[in-house]
Each structure stands twice: as structure tokens, then as C-alpha cells.
Amino acid sequence: MKKIVLGILAIGLLIFGCKSSSSNDKTKTVNITFESKSGSKVKGTGTFTEKKGEVTFIASFTGLKPGVHAIHIHEKSDCSAADATSTGGHWNPTFKKHGRWTDAEHHKGDMDNFYANTDGNATVLFKTDEWCVGCGDETKDILGKAVIVHEKGDDYTTQPTGNAGARLACSAIIK
């Protein structure tokens, strides 16, 4: 009798173990397309991919002025305004000060500045375990937000915006 019970228990643990690891290995992806705002010619595409508890964001842009630019996640997935102000402010569900991602205080929507080359092209790559794709945790879930590309670089000091200038491109983060 002991062997049968232990055998059933072992099978149950094996099945449970398989289900747990397979759900953690599931990849979630959201592709986005940026539209020009504030009279700019900036266009782009991006992808958020969540795998094993980490979200990777990669995006490519054209039509930028050469130099440094800021990129942030904003509160609302509404890019309808000509200047993209319909997206609201930076996404900040934990009510922290604006700052560099590596600072103790930063908005969840803060990301590092990026550089456009002399042709106005740029690629952004950002990874974090502080975001999720569709997990339902309002302090981590990026769905229902928007990504904004700004005219200038973020100074990481000015509250609450980083003094990054006009909103040049916008994309909602929706499935």
C-alpha cells in the first residue's frame, strides 16, 4: 500500500512540476507601431517580449533629429491628440520621483535615453523584471499604456518629466 501511495504522490508532483515550469517559460509578445506627433516625421516599430519574468523592449525609429532622445511609458494608451498629450504623464504606479532607471527613485515608465545617428535612425533596447505583459498587476503591467519618443534627452532631474521636450511619436501598448 505504501508503494502505491508514494507512486501516486510522485506522479502528482511530477505533473505539478511540469505545469509550473511550463507556465514560467511561456513567452508573451506585443508588437507596436509608432505614429508621428507634434508635426514630426518620426516613425517606428517596437516589440515587448516577456520571457521567464523579464520583459525586453526593442524598437527602431526613423525621422529623428540626430542626437539624444528620451523614451518613456505613459499612463494611457490614447495617442489621439496631435501632440500625444492624451497619453497623460509618465506611468508611475508606485508614486516615485522621476529619475534614471538605476536610481532608487524612478517611474516605472522611465527608460534610458537613446541616440539617433546622423541619418536620424535609432534602435532602443531595454530589459527589466519590473514590467510584465498582461499579468494584471497594476504596478507592473504595461498593457493599456503608451510609449512616447521625445524631442530631447531626459535630464533625469526635472520633476516629473525630465524636461524631454515635445512628444514626437506615440504608440499604444495593446494586444
The CATH code of the domain at 26-173 is 2.60.40.200
**Rounded distance, CA 84 to CA 57, Å?**
21
Q: 31 or 107: whose pLDDT is higher?
A: 31
> Over the stretch 142-154, which tens digit does the pLDDT of each residue have?
999 999 999 999 9
The per-residue DSSP string of 39-83 comes to T---EEEEEEEEETTEEEEEEEEESPPSEEE-EEEES-S---STT
Every domain of the chain and the residues it spans: 26-173
Please write the tens of the pLDDT for every residue from 106-144: 899 999 999 999 999 999 999 999 999 999 999 999 999
Write the burial class of residue 61 (CB in 10 Å: 0-12 exposed, 13-18 middle, 19+ buried).
buried
Dist CA 152 CA 167 (whole Å): 9
Mean pLDDT along residues 34-48: 98
For residues 40 and 61, what is the distance between their CA atoms, to the nearest angstrom? Answer: 12
Looking at residue 97, what DSSP letter applies? P
- pTM here is 0.84
